[in-house]
Chains A and B, each alone.
Chain A
Amino acid sequence: MPLRNKKPIIAVLGMTCCEGCRVAIVDLGERFLKLAGHIIVGDFPFIQEHAKKKSFDLTFIEGTPILPSQIEEIKEIRRRSKVLVPIGACACLGGIQEIKNYRGDKENCLQYVYKNVDQIANPDIKPISAYVPVDFELTGCPINKDELFEFTKKILAGDVFRVPQRPICYECQRKQNECLLQKGLPCIGPVILGGCGAPCPSVGYPCDGCRGPLQKTGKNFDNLKKILNNHGYNEREIEMITERFGGRDQIENKLKPQNTNENKN
């Protein structure tokens, strides 16, 4: 899917989420401005009053559809985008809003928040790939902006971009962090796709899987669970961690791993 247009048209759009991933794009700062000189920013409502173009060579999309209009919109966006790339844990895994699915009491959640529940959309939360085919995914909560930048550069040059299939532990060890799992903390880094630079374990916060699982976790998740059980964490406590960013269904192989991780030519 390389973009060989002279000036490719890129859009940055969003569904319901915290919008941190588009902030991360703006946080590229000078690099963003430089990049913007080589492309046409087709639609980026964060910095533009009106869309410049209707069709895009490359669309980054964050968030999950919740409103009925968003469920329509994502299909529309797919039609108008040559390459569609969901970004962030919400778009790739479901995000924190998917916790309600796992709880199994979404009506109760709705009634807890609102006295009047009429007309308030409350669908099951699904990643973008459950609604439309996607071409690549850049996950994390938030995304790693450097990864997105590298991806964009590569794809504009017609190169292949891969997220190496290495667990969080790879980067964590290179930073010479003390292993939190060995310390008895509930870190699920061994089965989670690296590429974030391991910011969480670097401050003593166990990895909670915002980037979703490695493509092939094999028996590693079962082994990890055994270690966690031995540390005293029960099944439910482990589930609560894998559910936090919506990745439990992917980690438990009930849904295909979202990180396809290779753009095909």
Chain B
Amino acid sequence: MKIKIDHVAKIEGHGGFIGEIVKGDVKAAIFMVNEGARLLEGILRDRHYEEASQIAARICGVCPVVHTLTSIKALEDAMDVAVASETIYLRKLLMLGQIINSHALHLFFFSLADFFGDKDDLALIKKFPSYTKNALQIRELGNFLIDKIGGRSIHPLAAEIGGFKKWPTEETLNEILKMAQAALPSAIRLANLFARLKYPDLQTSFNWASLVNENEYAIYEGKVRWNGKNEEEQIISEGAFMKLINEFQIKANPQTKRSHFEEEPYLVGALARLNNNASLLNLEAKKILELSGVKLPSRNPFHNILGQAVEIAHCVEEIVTLIGQRKELKLSKVKNAQWQPQIGRGYGAIEAPRGLLFYSYETKDNGDIKECNIITPTAQNIARLEEDLKAWLPDLSKKASRKRENMIKMLIRSYDPCLTCATH
């Protein structure tokens, strides 16, 4: 039996699926990414350190914050730049805005319709006008935060090596705080909707990886924790982990790399973070997780959707807490780090909405980029997604073709793949 889906809509980018089953054996399960290669690593070479992170941001219009910041982190690592705690504070706020922003788009506009059989969001919006308002309110909070701290909601540009080009005022932070307090009930309400959804019961055995940080639910910094399916684990630095990732190409879809760690696919993203760090979630987020009845660690990839819902509540709570606690910070008096361009090699990792994002750079003596590598969350998740599809296809092959196709699309969307990131 051959299964071919030319186009999976409502994901970021263009992709399809090709599957083949011969006498019950799955011969192929390939997520076909139909994006052109923009050759980002190739074009970043020889570029100026000031512009590299702005060019890198253009990898993704849904999650530009994470590309800018991870690129900056890797350059700071390469050129020994130590930033002030206030810089980290503002970057964390940007990250929180980015995550709620991206998750709200994926949960409400991409994935929710799968649970109600709607093919068009405009129909979904008519059916759920008040949840639509909730989703838009959360996105507006994310956009407002990124715009005010980052200078623009899509492709923000205030963050730079060593700090920020412009620091927000007290008044701006107060505005964000007010908006976040007002959005929290919406975030909880929307997340509760997802906590009560019935997820397909697909149990697969998988490895997963995320940042971990004993002080907080890790998003901006930490070590990488990898969990193997036989309960083994490794906790290593971001650079060490990145070096051990094996990126490879497949013949059928050569422009989009796949990745292995310890010679196997692994999952990154909200579910990986939840599996590793749920004990550090904020209060309301914990309640939502409890309401869902899902026990962690979960090995059901569909729970990535639930994980994102839980994280929306967590991140809005975190914005309220972080800004509420800011009294000890004096942003108006903060200075950017002093540093000199120099030869170096550096790594950066961050928890993008879709999972671990890695950058590595080598710089020349004037700070220009000499070498560069970028490993995106989706480039890591595709191999895992293909394993899940492989495991599920024999079951799915017994279903009617339309139902089968819908289930395949639903699983693909649950990963929230970003194909422009994956190919870059």
The chain B residues found within 8 Å of chain A, CB to CB, are 7, 9-10, 12-14, 34-43, 45-48, 51, 54-55, 58-62, 64, 105, 109, 113, 119-122, 125, 132, 136, 139-140, 143, 151-155, 157-158, 165-166, 249, 254-255, 420, 423
Cα–Cα distance between A29 and B48 once the two chains are bound (Å):
36
Q: Is A97 an interface residue (CB 8 A)?
A: yes
B-facing residues in A1-52 (Cβ within 8 Å): 14-24, 26-27, 29-30, 33, 36, 41, 45-50, 52
- Interface hit among A115-123, A149-157, A159-167: A115-123
Q: How large is the interface on A (under 10, 10 to 19, 20 to 34, 35 or more residues)?
A: 35 or more
Beyond A20-B61, A121-B36, 17 extra complex contacts between A and B, CB < 8 Å = A20-B64, A29-B140, A45-B9, A45-B14, A47-B10, A47-B122, A48-B10, A49-B113, A50-B119, A52-B120, A95-B58, A97-B36, A99-B47, A113-B41, A116-B254, A203-B157, A208-B51
Residue of B55, B109, B157 touching A200 (CB-CB under 8 A): B157
Whether the Cβ atoms of B105 and A23 lie closer than 8 Å is: yes
Shortest distance between the CB of A263 and any CB in chain B (Å): 25
Residues of A within 8 A of B7 (CB): 45
Shortest distance between the CB of A188 and any CB in chain B (Å): 13
Shortest distance between the CB of A60 and any CB in chain B (Å): 14
Residue of B59, B121, B153, B158 touching A205 (CB-CB under 8 A): B158
Q: What is the chain A residue whose CB lies nearest that of B62? A: A23
Given known pairs A115-B249, A204-B165, the reply for A18 and B39 (CB within 8 Å) is no
Shortest distance between the CB of B408 and any CB in chain A (Å): 13
7 contacts between A and B (CB under 8 A): A23-B105, A26-B105, A27-B143, A110-B39, A110-B42, A112-B45, A199-B151
Cα–Cα distance between A36 and B61 once the two chains are bound (Å):
22
Whether the Cβ atoms of A24 and B154 lie closer than 8 Å is: yes
Cα–Cα distance between A99 and B45 once the two chains are bound (Å):
11
Cα–Cα distance between A121 and B37 once the two chains are bound (Å):
7
Whether the Cβ atoms of A110 and B61 lie closer than 8 Å is: no
Shortest distance between the CB of B177 and any CB in chain A (Å): 21
Q: Is A244 an interface residue (CB 8 A)?
A: yes
Residues of A within 8 A of B47 (CB): 99, 240
Shortest distance between the CB of B40 and any CB in chain A (Å): 8
Shortest distance between the CB of B224 and any CB in chain A (Å): 24
Q: Is A106 an interface residue (CB 8 A)?
A: yes
Residues of B within 8 A of A15 (CB): 36
Given known pairs A109-B42, A110-B37, the reply for A20 and B155 (CB within 8 Å) is yes
Whether the Cβ atoms of B61 and A50 lie closer than 8 Å is: no
Q: What is the chain B residue whose CB lies nearest that of A64? A: B36
Whether the Cβ atoms of B158 and A96 lie closer than 8 Å is: no
Residue of A36, A70, A200 touching B151 (CB-CB under 8 A): A200
Shortest distance between the CB of A139 and any CB in chain B (Å): 14
Q: Is A142 an interface residue (CB 8 A)?
A: yes
Q: Is A103 an interface residue (CB 8 A)?
A: yes
Residue of B12, B37, B132 touching A19 (CB-CB under 8 A): B12
Whether the Cβ atoms of B43 and A142 lie closer than 8 Å is: no
Given known pairs A29-B136, A45-B7, A48-B120, the reply for A19 and B39 (CB within 8 Å) is no
